């Protein structure tokens, strides 16, 4: 008997269950979805974000805000249509959708992405892997900037999961909830930022209309 069968049989025996026996349904999931106004969410997000938040009126202003944040540093940007709409690839020093993604990310000073959504209650940026948003972009460079339309600002994870019950599926291999910079307290419990992931996080939220999720 191979291990798969052996383990399943041991599990069933341990539980006194038969092959194919139906389970009881699980307890109802608890999704504490709280609907807040955009203003309330912005206030909450600003307070919770471990990083800087810039709120801009439109896509053009977003481009300016990012240029200011870059302060002359080189950056790699994703191919996300929202970043294109904000003119990010045109900012001097920004390489959008590079040929050699890995090496460009490994050497860039800043990584610029959009986001799947933002979570106000915890100051979280949610990224979902897709052809336009590779994983390493928000991970290898020491600084991460996320440019996100306001209507992607949700209240909390519960709300996101009630909208997207499958964080990963045929469309996406990975979702990551980013709450603040990379950190460690492993040595003497002294906090150090930017150990492996970015040490600084900046979010630019753009007011005004946007394409659907």
Partner 1 sequence: MSAPDSAIRQTLANANLQLAIYSNTGRLKNHRSKAVAPDRFPEYQDLRTRAAAIKRHTLAFLDVYLLQLEHAVNDNGGKVIWASTGEEAADFIIQLAKDREANLIVKSKSMTTEEIHLNDRLAQHELETVETDLGEYILQLAGQRPFHILAPAIHMTRHDVAKVFNEKLGIEHDTVIENQAMTARRVLREKFLNAGIGITGANFLLADSGGVVIVENEGNARLTLSAPKIHVTVAGLEKLIPRARDLPVFLDLLGRSATGQPLTSYTSIVSGPRRNGELDGPEEFYVILLDAGRTKLLADPEMRESLQCIRCGACLNACPVYRKIGGHNYPWVYSGPIGKVITPQFQGVEKDPWLPFASSLCGACAEVCPVKIDIPGLLLKLRKEIVQANPEDRRYFRIWAWLMQRPGMYALAAKIGRALMGFNIGPLAAWRSERDLPAAPPKSFRDLWKQRKK
What track of x and - describes contact with partner 1 for positions 25 through 44 (by CB under 8 A)? -xx-xxxx------------
- Binding partner 1 (rule: CB under 8 A), the pick from 64, 73, 95, 172 is 172
The edge-to-edge listing of strands for the beta sheet with 124-128 is 124-128, 117-119, 153-154
Residue by residue, DSSP assigns 35-47 as: ---HHHHHHHHHH
C-alpha angle 86-89-90 in degrees, rounded to nearest 5: 90
- How far are the Cα atoms of 13, 130, 188 from residue 6, in angstroms, in the given order? 10, 38, 45
- Binding partner 1 (rule: CB under 8 A), the pick from 40, 68, 107, 171 is 171
- Binding partner 1 (rule: CB under 8 A), the pick from 47, 60, 106, 213 is 106
For residues 151 and 193, which CB has a smaller minimum distance to partner 1 in the complex?
A: 193
3-class SS of residue 124: strand
- Binding partner 1 (rule: CB under 8 A), the pick from 37, 39, 190, 212 is 190
Report d(CA 170, CA 95) in Å as an integer. Answer: 29
Q: 154: buried, middle or exposed (CB in 10 Å: 19+, 13-18, 0-12)? A: buried
Report d(CA 98, CA 77) in Å as an integer. Answer: 8
47 binds partner 1 (CB under 8 A): no
129 binds partner 1 (CB under 8 A): yes
| Smallest distance, partner 1 to C-beta of residue 64, A | 28
7 binds partner 1 (CB under 8 A): yes
**DSSP state for residue 138 in the 8-state scheme:** G
99 binds partner 1 (CB under 8 A): no
- Binding partner 1 (rule: CB under 8 A), the pick from 38, 169, 208, 209 is 169
6 binds partner 1 (CB under 8 A): yes
212 binds partner 1 (CB under 8 A): no
- Binding partner 1 (rule: CB under 8 A), the pick from 8, 38, 40, 47 is 8
- Whose structure tokens read 């339309």? 149
- Binding partner 1 (rule: CB under 8 A), the pick from 131, 208, 209, 213 is 131
Q: Which of residues 49-88 bind partner 1 (CB under 8 A)?
A: none
């Amino acid at each position: 008997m191979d291990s798969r069968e052996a383990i399943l049989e041991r599990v069933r025996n341990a539980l006194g269950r038969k092959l194919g026996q139906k389970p009881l349904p699980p307890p109802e999931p608890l999704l504490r979805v709280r609907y807040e106004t955009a203003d309330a969410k912005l206030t909450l997000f600003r307070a919770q974000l471990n990083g800087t938040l810039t709120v801009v009126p439109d896509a053009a202003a977003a481009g300016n805000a990012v240029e200011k944040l870059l302060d002359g540093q080189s950056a790699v940007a994703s191919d996300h249509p929202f970043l294109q709409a904000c003119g990010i690839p045109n900012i001097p020093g920004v390489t959008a959708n590079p040929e050699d993604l890995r090496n460009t990310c490994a050497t860039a000073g800043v990584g610029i992405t959009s986001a799947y959504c933002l979570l106000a209650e915890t100051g979280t940026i949610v990224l979902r892997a897709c052809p336009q948003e590779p994983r390493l972009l928000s991970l290898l460079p020491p600084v991460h900037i996320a440019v996100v339309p306001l209507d992607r600002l949700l209240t909390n994870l519960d709300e996101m999961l009630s909208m997207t019950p499958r964080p990963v599926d045929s469309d996406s291999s990975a979702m990551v909830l980013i709450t603040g910079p990379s950190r460690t307290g492993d040595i003497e419990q002294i906090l150090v930022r930017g150990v492996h992931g970015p040490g600084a996080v900046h979010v630019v939220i753009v007011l005004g209309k946007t394409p659907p999720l």
